[in-house]
Structure 1
Amino acid sequence: MEHLEMRRKVIIMLSIMAAMLFAALNQTIVGTSLPKIIADLGGIEYYSWVFTIFMLTSSITAILVGKLSDIYGRKPFILLGIGVFSVGSLLCGVSGSILELIAYRGIQGFGGGMIMSTAFTAVGDLFPPRERGKWQGIMSSVFGLASVFGPTLGGYIVDHFHWHWVFWIFLPFGLVAFLAIHFLFPSVQRKEKESIDYTGSLLLTLTMVPLLLSFTWAGNQYDWVSPEIIGLFAVTIVAFFLFIRTEKRVTSPVLPLDMFKNKVFTVSNIIGFFLGAGMFGSIMYMPFFIQGVMGTSATKSGFVMMPLTLAMVAGSTISGQIVTKTGKYKKLALLGLFIMVSGMTSMHFMDTETTNTTAILNMILVGSGLGIAFPIFTLTVQNAIEHKYLGVATSSVQLFRQLGGTIGVSIMGSVMNNSLTDHFNKETQKLIASTPNISPQMGEQIKELANPQVLLNQGAVLEKFSALPPESLAFIKQVLEILRGSLSYALNGGFLTGAIVIGSAFLLTFFFLKEIPLRTSNEEKTASKEQAAERKLG
């Protein structure tokens, strides 16, 4: 595909971007909408699961499809991904409970993993590493466009219409994307026949699922040393060792272990893991801070988040052009990670008095750094391995990044809930001690308010207590202020943790990521003995 005429390449890129736009719009529209959806369906204790399940299923799909697309081509998996994603979106809109929504988001994740994995791999088929920078910038712009309009539209929908339309409004884009891929994307016939590693695929799934479930449930549903969590870790360890043993023996492994002998490949994926943990774990809770702590409406929350994506698009575009022009990437990666750390550290200092302007400036910092650094580690992996491994290598980047994101969201969610509860209980005890004549009934009402979900609909809460005497109503308002402060305190800890994690990625990049020249052709093996050593797989 690299030798196709440019006009043909542009047509293929347009079809790929149509598929990405459909998937991205359906993903990004959920962020600012979810607080209101939770207020309707309930189940805030499962808040992080709406994101976790998507990343879990998409991570599994991405790595499995990566290898299959190397064998059978990218086209069938993009089409299948669009179909599965569309079904998942339709079902999400008819959810009657938070558990149903989580299950249907899992279906979306299966489709989304196929789309994203094959889309970014297809760009690698069309262009050599030296030219991919600017095209990845364009791809990021498409995702950024969805990230700008998705949250804003999502907030507007839940403020003015029923939240079901959040999942249904872009379904027509799915049909358009499907037809565009079907008619414009070329089918590639695989000359060599390879066996499918079913055993390895199953063992990889049995390694990842219990691992992610253990991090999600530990500290929330179960204690860290409970039989359930220990059992899940045990299953993970056993499945992992069986997976390693299997991959060493099969002729066509789902995840070739020899690739990890390549230092650039291994270090880039580890950095991607930290990047995913810090980014997803921190940014996912930003809409909750804006709406719950700052009291901004869902619609305005989308506008506050918008600068992050605009800055991300600008950073990615500029970074891609610089990489294509210079062939260098390490300094850009360090710059992007440093800017991200600065932005997340600033987020740590936000509180109940923070204005939208301050939040926007912090979003610009995080978005700029993210845009500069995020695409680079896909490029470093693709450049470090042979082209025949492009699909599985690209999907491995997504695997580690989303694995980090899932674990990051789960751990930060657990820490946030525990921190919020402790802070709220401590502050309400002080309030009770300083307030005379607190009735047992009022004590029960305090327990009822010990849920950050009430901050998303304070008007309805105050209306519920409107019949109380003025002094009791004033007491309720004080409790709500304590809850706001407790949520701010808890989220600040999450943002600081994110900054530390991204700081770790910065140090790994600085000390361990070696910069090797970007190939100018997909057919190019190596240009020197040094590059040969770096790219050697076995």
Structure 2
Amino acid sequence: MNAPDLSPRRRAMLWAAVVSGLLLAMLDQTIVGTALPRIVADLGGPSWYVWAFTCYLVPATVLLPVATRLSDRTGRRDMLLIGMALFLAGSAVCAAAGSMPVLVAGRTTQGAGAAALEALSFLVVNELSRDSKKGAGQAAISAVMAISFVAGPLIGGLLTDHIGWRWAFLVNLPIGLVAMGLLVRALPASFGRTESRRTDVDLAGIASLVLGVGALLVALNRHQQLGDWLLPSTGGALVLGVLGIALFVRVEATAAAPIVPLRLLTDPASRRLLVAAAFATTGIYACVLLVPRWYQVDGGIDATGAGIRVYPLLLALLVGVNVGAVLVGSGALRVPLVVASAVTGAGALGFLALGTSSSGALPLVAMAVLGLGMGPQLSGLQIALSRTVAPRDLAAAMGTLLLGRQVVGAVALAAADALYRSRAASDGAASGTGWAIAWVAGAGAVVAGVALLGVRRRLPAPMPAPVPA
């Protein structure tokens, strides 16, 4: 059964299930981040603090392309159900945790499930949407991302301050179970299956990808905490990550069914879109890390108030993703996305003026400009990539896009924190915040803009969907 064969009722049920799963997975990252200081205080394990982040981040990132590629042989439904089951199991373990090691185990399980939920949500929405509606579908999914980035800290603060941190995990269970029921009822088992189950699984590629990207993420997180590349857990992990990625590229060059087909990276059109997608939204990571912290530490505002003050970024992102979806969905490509990069650069420049004597409106306006620039690229680049690659490569391309965005986002977080520390030590928290966001967001906008200058002016016509295997 293909997407056009689904009745409007089944299509609506699937939208509800897919969006619910994605929202749970993405909100969890920011909600738990806000609640984690209270969790660590209650469970008495401050030395485990960094691992509560890392153990979720690594599987949630490294398994993104693995989930999409495996769904080519299992069908989208089964992989979504596996992801949801893992995420809910991890949530239950975290909610019941009486120690930090148990919490870390639950977070690791959650991360593995979140990878499937995030990657397959983008893919299924693209496949469920008719050609005329793909822009609206990707805009809706990108809007979920924007909401989770900014609303998560606010929700996490409210739950932690007024109900209890265990509810940050318990709320996932009823929503997730309903979503699983909708998936079983509405999505055919064969939906999205384009590869024979007899095709060899790229086990060597999966292993080398986990080794390379996992070690790289551990290195970045440990350096953010320790600030020394000469330690084995930082510099050693970085070297291991580089070697693992080199091994992954070598393995993929000869794999029968690679997790990341190298033709995506050697083809100029898809390569430019993937590079732009990876770098275009670095400003989101920098803002979400630094702005709430500045409001709380320098302004004496509580977690809930700090979350509210990041709303200009959220609202602008919501506008931007819809504008980008409409423009790119209509066929325009280079001009709207290059202009979006320029707008992001303008927002980054605005943060350079942030200091102790700045107007209180300055960061709010700068965040709004950043959101208006990054929003069109959240939705537009995904639409562009889905229309550029061959149908057989759609799942791999979407997984690679999300992997690149997450890895570059992790680098952006580490860079933003390092720039903040170096500047704040001499010029204060306000200047450090503005300096770090300006450089991280601005660098991302420049890289994305340069990559997009080489893409075609308009998108090609949609290609026919592949026949299920």
Decide whether the 8 Å contact of 1:129 with 1:383 is kept in 2.
no
Decide whether the 8 Å contact of 2:52 with 2:103 is kept in 1.
yes
Other-structure match for 1:284: 289
Partners of 2:140 and 2:84 in 1: how far apart? 21
Other-structure match for 1:115: 117
Partners of 1:374 and 1:208 in 2: how far apart? 22
Decide whether the 8 Å contact of 2:286 with 2:441 is kept in 1.
no
Whether 2:452 is the aligned partner of 1:519: answer no
Deviation at 1:32, TM superposition (A): 4.6
Provide, for residues 432-479 of structure 1, a one-character-per-residue CA deviation record: whole Å limited to 9, x for no partner. Answer: xxxxxxxxxxxxxxxxxxxxxxxxxxxxxxxxxxxxxxxxxxxxxxxx
Q: Secondary structure of the residue that 1:162 maps to in structure 2? A: coil
Partners of 1:497 and 1:331 in 2: how far apart? 24
Decide whether the 8 Å contact of 1:197 with 1:254 is kept in 2.
yes
Partners of 1:343 and 1:105 in 2: how far apart? 35
Partners of 1:15 and 1:237 in 2: how far apart? 38
Decide whether the 8 Å contact of 1:291 with 1:297 is kept in 2.
yes
Letter in 1 for 2:205: G
Identity of aligned pairs, percent?
24
Letter in 1 for 2:365: L
Please, what TM-score do these two structures have when normalized by structure 2?
0.86
Other-structure match for 1:244: 249
Partners of 2:58 and 2:121 in 1: how far apart? 19
Other-structure match for 1:427: none
Provide, for residues 51-85 of structure 1, a one-character-per-residue CA deviation record: whole Å limited to 9, x for no partner. Answer: 55433221211111111011211111111111212
Q: 1:153 to 1:488 in 2, by over 3 A?
A: same
Bigger radius of gyration = 1
CA RMSD after TM alignment? 3.2
Q: Secondary structure of the residue that 1:250 maps to in structure 2? A: coil
Matches within 5 A, 1:79-228: 79-94=81-96, 104-127=106-129, 131-144=133-146, 146=148, 150-188=152-190, 192=196, 193-218=198-223, 220-221=225-226, 223-226=228-231
Letter in 2 for 1:327: G
Other-structure match for 1:367: 371
Provide, for residues 88-131 of structure 1, a one-character-per-residue CA deviation record: whole Å limited to 9, x for no partner. Answer: 33334455677765554333221111001111111232236664
Structure 2 runs not aligned, ≥5 long: none
Letter in 2 for 1:231: G
Whether 2:278 is the aligned partner of 1:273: answer yes
Letter in 1 for 2:158: Y
Partners of 1:292 and 1:43 in 2: how far apart? 23
Q: 1:162 to 1:127 in 2, by over 3 A?
A: closer
Other-structure match for 1:309: 314
Deviation at 1:500, TM superposition (A): 2.6
Letter in 1 for 2:317: M
Partners of 1:116 and 1:271 in 2: how far apart? 20
Q: How many residues align?
A: 462
Deviation at 1:291, TM superposition (A): 1.4
Q: 1:242 to 1:254 in 2, by over 3 A?
A: same
Letter in 1 for 2:177: L
Deviation at 1:384, TM superposition (A): 1.7
* Structure 1 counterpart of 2:433, from 475, 491, 497: 491
* Structure 1 counterpart of 2:264, from 254, 259, 263: 259
Provide, for residues 278-307 of structure 1, a one-character-per-residue CA deviation record: whole Å limited to 9, x for no partner. Answer: 431343222111211222222222221233
Q: 1:143 to 1:211 in 2, by over 3 A?
A: closer
Letter in 1 for 2:443: V
Please, what TM-score do these two structures have when normalized by structure 1?
0.76
Q: Secondary structure of the residue that 1:186 maps to in structure 2? A: coil
Q: 1:213 to 1:5 in 2, by over 3 A?
A: closer
Provide, for residues 115-165 of structure 1, a one-character-per-residue CA deviation record: whole Å limited to 9, x for no partner. Answer: 011111112322366641121112233444555654433222233233332
Q: 1:260 to 1:148 in 2, by over 3 A?
A: closer
Partners of 2:102 and 2:431 in 1: how far apart? 31
Partners of 1:241 and 1:93 in 2: how far apart? 39
Partners of 2:232 and 2:143 in 1: how far apart? 46
Whether 2:454 is the aligned partner of 1:505: answer no
